[in-house]
Amino acid sequence: MELNATSYVILGMLGFRPMCGYDIKQLVDKSTRFFWAASYGQIYPELRRLSDAGLIKGQADSDTARGRIEFELTPEGRRRLEDWLGDPPEIQEMRDESMLKVFFSGTAGNGGPRAALEAKRDHHSEVAARLRGIEESAKAADASGGPVTALRLGIAFNEFVADWCDKEAASA
C-alpha cells in the first residue's frame, strides 16, 4: 500500500501513543499544522485504509462507551514509519503565497515590494510569537526530541524571515 505524507503524520502520532482520530486531529492542530495540516476528511478515511492494510489496529474503547475507537501501530506499521524516517529525503515543495506578492510587487503601480515585505514580516512575527508561547508550555512539560527541535527551528526560521523582511522594507 502506497503511503503519503499524511499517512505518516498519522503513523507518527500513533508512534507517540495510542489515540483516536479526534485526538490525532487535536494534536496535529497544535503541533505539525505549522508545516503540515490534516482535516477530518483525511484522517478518518486514512485510519480506515491504514487499518485495512494492517499498519494500525483499532478497538472500541469500552471504558468511555462514547463511540471512541483507539488505534495503535502494529509491528508492521512501526516498521513502515521507521523506514520512512530513515529514507533519503523526498522532494520538498513549498507553497508560500506571500512570496508571490513580493515577487510580483512592482508590476502594478504600487511602488515596489515594501508593502508585501511588511505584510510578510507581520505574519512571521505573529507565528514566531505563537510558537514561543508553545515553547513555554513545552519547557514546563520538560519535552524533548524531534518535536522540540522542530519547534525551535520554527521559531528561529520565523524570526529570521520577519527580521529580514523588516530590514529590507526599511531600506526599500
Q: Give the binding range for DNA (CB under 7 A) out of 60-68, 73-81, 108-116, 142-150.
A: 60-68
Spatial contact of 58 and 73, defined as CB atoms under 8 Å apart: no
Q: What would the grid cell of residue 47 be? A: 485510519
Per-residue b or e along 29-51, where b marks 16 or more CB atoms closer than 10 Å to that residue's CB: eebbebeeebeeebbeebbebbb
Q: Give the ranges where 3-113 is alpha helix by DSSP (H).
A: 5-16, 21-29, 40-52, 75-86, 97-104
Q: Which one, 60 or 170, has the nearer CB to a second copy?
A: 170
Where do contacts with a second copy occur on this chain (CB under 8 A)? 5, 8-9, 12, 15-16, 31-32, 34-37, 78, 81-82, 84-86, 88-90, 92-110, 112-113, 115-117, 119-120, 122-123, 145-147, 149-150, 152-154, 156-157, 160-161, 164-165, 168, 172
Residue 151 interacts with DNA (CB under 7 A): yes or no: no
- The span from the CA of 36 to the CA of 28, in Å, is 8
Spatial contact of 68 and 21, defined as CB atoms under 8 Å apart: no
Q: Which one, 17 or 60, has the nearer CB to a second copy?
A: 17
- The span from the CA of 49 to the CA of 148, in Å, is 30
Residue 67 interacts with DNA (CB under 7 A): yes or no: yes
Tell the smallest beta-carbon distance from residue 66 to DNA (Å).
Answer: 4
Residues that bind DNA (CB under 7 A): 2, 4-6, 20-23, 26, 37-42, 44-45, 47-48, 64-69, 93, 95
